[in-house]
Chain A
Amino acid sequence: MHSALMGTTSRSWGVRRPSAAWLAVPAALWLILFGLAPIAFMLAMSTWTSDIFGMTATWNLDNYRRFWEEPLYISVLFTTVRVALTCTVLSLLISYPLAWFLAERRGRAKAILLILVFVPFWTSYLIRTFVWLPILGRNGIINDLLLRIGIINQPLEWLLYNEGTIYLGLVYVYTLFMTLPVYVSLERLDRSLIAAASDLGARPFRIFLRIVLPLSMPGVLSGSVMVFLLSAGAFVTPQLLGGPSAIMFGNLIAAQFLNNNNWAFGAALSMILIVVVMLFVFVVGRRMGLQRVFLGEGV
């Protein structure tokens, strides 16, 4: 395992080190052209107006005013943030023990287990979401099983088509994004620290709280940001599994393009979601430094 001294810039003895900054240029150009420019364009479009005949460049804030004045949008925005945060927490709680488990294993078993964790994520995420329907439905597998065993007399209605199902669906497809960074963080943990602490008489829980958790923070934050981002933009999962009251901001945005032709308004809503999500990342990045969050150890 490499030591933690990697952050230092090495100064060699008098040998001229050519700067490799130019290597970043192709990627930078790509990102500016296809990453930044389209967003800037969408920002412009959010100040235009769409009607049944098309879009006109009116350059005003009407779309944003509508967002502010109609309570629906803010309410759904709150719901979306709440759901995304809940998903993140759930995902963390579920992934952390498993990441620890993986980090503890050695050799071939570790490699096999890692692959086993990866494999489900190589199935289409659409299908992995759909498959919950025949499992959780009124006449689905779980109900069928429970009825046969005799635990229940009537099928359980609450398994499907509510907010809980959304959590299940989202966490199921996005867990890998949390498990992996946490695992990487835990793997780098110096085991001798734990051994020393327990030698000194610390109980396991205290060791976890004071040593393991803080040292795994980069992974935890990185995974959390990822899962939050992914959940905040969800729209297929709530639509499919969430029942009659499942609506997230992504659905509102989608409706502007799929059910309506109000592209300008859709652009405005999109900008709003981007800003909200960016705020979240910024807040987290503030605590840890953006580079640390995403890249792990100090950069």
Chain B
Amino acid sequence: MDDNEKNTTGPTRRLLLQGMGAVGASALLPGAAFAQQKSIDGLMVNGILGGPLRAMIEGPTGVKVNDGPFVSSTDNVAKLMAPGGGTRYDLFIGVSEFSRNPVLGAGPGKERGLAFDPAKVPNLKDLSAIARDDLGTRDGKNYIVPVYWGYDMALYNKDHVPENDPLTQSWGLMFSEKYAGRIAWYDVPHQMIMVAGLHMGLKEPEKASASDLAEITKFLISKKKNVRAIWTTFAQAVNLMASGEVVVSYGWIPMRVALQKRGFNITNNWPSDGLLIWSHGAYIPKDSPKGNEAQAVVNAMLAGEYGAALTRETGYLSGSVAAEKLLSAEEKKAAGYDVRERGIKTYSLKWPSDLSRWVEAWGKVKSA
């Protein structure tokens, strides 16, 4: 075992796992096929491979996905752009908007991503309208393929917050005096500032000028006194709502799903000032040696079976119409596939014109 320091995963890990077989979990032994199996290293929200979902990807493609510790979409981009980024991971999935510029590069010929081959990803034909809007394209070639989409909203506890209150159905809920001391924000600049901008009535918050940004900063600072905590991780947010520490929180879809599955009377609002919509797009580093395997995985993610299961398991909405066909009308409504039809104002998450200033502004909000 000691002379295998450089030879990372295969033999060493297998030996160890077999040694621990005493624990009795047959699931431990990946089998002798482990070392020879096709595999890719990916960085994506780990939840999209949870439960039954992993088998739906690895089964049909025969490719094992080693998903690394996902930190954030911007961290993904950072890893892609790090010198040598092409060698670390074979597949990234992150917010399409944030990945667009880095992946496409400054101009033709400067792309960092691999152009998707329609022959290798036949399910591209099933892309839904919302997904199509977010494709990362140049010269007719796709470099970013949205695999699923979602939206951010405010979660609220129905036991304490009335559903039909116009305040509840707006982003104002997160800034209100009414629930002072029982509100939680999300510790991410671009989303919080975006939401504040939407609430303040800015037409295109991502293009906020320096003075607009200063206004938003002042606004956020003034409302901070109503905030109990600012969360960074899923578990924190869920615990904040579930333990009753807060009754309103910035939230993600999987949180709503997780809380509801466990019987909590918590749901999301549909903000009248603009539901924040985003998609997660898949992109492959240009020089990845496993481009084919990665594309096969993306293809499997656009399959109907996976997409429908994704919605049922995590609440994320598949970018494939094939998935929509496999869901009941009720499931689709609960998930929000029909947001555009329902007349809910949506706003696509956009990359801020100067993220560094936004990050700085958020720092000011927090240090005030």
Contacts and interface: CB of A to CB of B under 8 A. Distances in A.
Direct contact of A and B (CB under 8 A): yes
Interface of A: 52-55, 70, 72, 75-76, 79, 133-134, 137-140, 157, 161, 239-240, 243-247, 251-252, 255-263, 265
B14 interface: no
Nearest to A252: B363
Given A72-B367, A79-B367, A246-B366, A258 B101 contact: no
A54 B224 contact: no
Interface stretch (B46-54, B58-66, B228-236, B331-339): B228-236
Contact of B367 (A52, A239, A247, A260): A247
Interface of B: 71-72, 74-75, 77-78, 81-82, 101-102, 105-106, 110, 181, 185, 187-190, 224, 227-230, 232, 236, 239, 243-245, 351, 355-356, 359-360, 362-364, 366-368
A53 B359 contact: no
A244 to B, nearest CB: 5
Contact of A260 (B102, B181, B355, B366): B355
A75 B368 CA distance: 10
9 contacts: A139-B243, A140-B243, A239-B232, A244-B229, A245-B367, A251-B363, A251-B366, A258-B78, A259-B359
A54 B181 CA distance: 41
A240 B236 contact: yes
Contact of B230 (A52, A133, A243, A257): A243
A261 B359 contact: no
A70, A256, A261 — most chain B CB neighbours (10 Å):
A261
Given A139-B244, A244-B224, A261-B355, 20 more contacts: A52-B355, A53-B101, A53-B106, A54-B102, A70-B360, A72-B364, A72-B367, A134-B243, A137-B245, A138-B244, A139-B245, A245-B367, A247-B366, A255-B363, A257-B78, A259-B190, A260-B74, A260-B189, A260-B356, A262-B355
B229 A161 contact: yes
A107 B265 CA distance: 58
A75 B181 CA distance: 26
Contact of B356 (A55, A139, A262): A262
Contacts, number: 100
A134 B232 CA distance: 17
A261 B98 CA distance: 10
B188 A259 contact: yes
A223 to B, nearest CB: 29
A51 B343 CA distance: 37
A200 to B, nearest CB: 54
Nearest to B226: A244
A54 B160 CA distance: 47
B86 to A, nearest CB: 13
Contacts of A161: 228-229
A261 B77 contact: yes
Nearest to B232: A239
A255 B236 contact: no
A140 B364 CA distance: 31
Nearest to B106: A53
Contacts of B367: 72, 75-76, 79, 245, 247
A53 B351 CA distance: 13
Contact of B74 (A134, A140, A258): A258
